[in-house]
Amino acid sequence: MAPTDCTYIGPPIDDEAILAELPAPLATLLRETNGFVAYGGGLHVRGACHTPAWHSLRYWWRGDDALYRQFSAVRPTDIPFAEDALGDQFLVRDGEVHRLLAEQGEVQALSLGVTGFLAAAERDPLGFLALEPLMEFGRRGGVLGPGELLSVYPPFVVAEASQGVSIRAVPVGERISYLAQLARSIEDLPDGALIRFRPPE
């Protein structure tokens, strides 16, 4: 079941073929509600549709900008069914949900199935989905719309972020592309390495 506070519900299903490739709990969810945005933009579950592209599971799984093409830790068989407000991705791998920490380009197992993942998010969205940056964005008067993610500068992966960050809303594709470039640029660096990079445009 989708959360009760959704700010976006996906369009009618127009990609039956992709549903046939999904594990049963995820396919059942999408047949009930074809993806959604909930918790003020804190969780986006993609849908079985071709458009809009930002909401299309097929686009991010199999398309030209598929996550496995952008992040070396993501496998072509990983199902990128959801994302949080900052662009961390949730993948179904071997029946369990994994989290792609997109700034670092690292994948972590959550030891939860899709149903357990959604239940954990419902119980504690602030903690489980790490929504504090989204809350801060709201305190500054920002609103995250459908098709947008939060861009944070400097990235949380660098020490300077502890001194404060700027936060703004950007299109989903722009944020994911930036995160992929960041992850590729630091994946072979040791902890504590000095780096220089440009802020997102």
Question: What does the domain layout of the chain look like in residue ranges?
Answer: 8-186
Cα angle, residue 193 at apex, residues 165 and 172 outer, rounded to 5° = 40
User: What is the value of pTM for the model shown?
Assistant: 0.91
In this predicted structure, what is the pLDDT of residue 144? Answer: 96
The tokens of 132 are what?
């504090």
pLDDT digits over 7-42, tens only? 999 999 999 999 999 999 999 999 999 999 999 999
Cis amide bond preceding 199, omega within 30: no
pLDDT (tens place) for every residue of the chain, 201 residues total? 778 789 999 999 999 999 999 999 999 999 999 999 999 999 999 999 999 999 999 999 999 999 999 999 999 999 999 999 999 999 999 999 999 999 999 999 999 999 999 999 999 999 999 999 999 999 999 999 999 999 998 887 776 767 778 999 999 999 999 999 999 887 765 555 555 656 656
User: Do 147 and 52 touch, CB atoms closer than 8 A?
Assistant: yes
- Cα separation, 186 vs 163, whole angstroms: 21
Please state, in angstroms and rounded to a whole number, the distance separating the CA atoms of residues 61 and 127.
27
H helix runs in 57-166, sequence order: 57-62, 67-70, 114-123, 125-128, 132-139
Q: What is the pLDDT of residue 163?
A: 75
pLDDT (0 to 100) of residue 43: 98
What DSSP element (H or E) covers 32? helix 24-32
Look up residue 75 and give its two tokens.
Answer: 């496998």
Structure tokens at 169: 């809303």
Residues 6+ apart with CB under 8 A from 114: 23, 25, 26, 29, 81, 92, 97
Helix (H) or strand (E) holding 174: helix 172-186
Contacts (Cβ under 8 Å, ≥6 apart) of 86: 102, 130, 133, 134, 149, 150, 152, 175
- Write down the pLDDT at residue 158: 72
Average pLDDT, the chain: 92
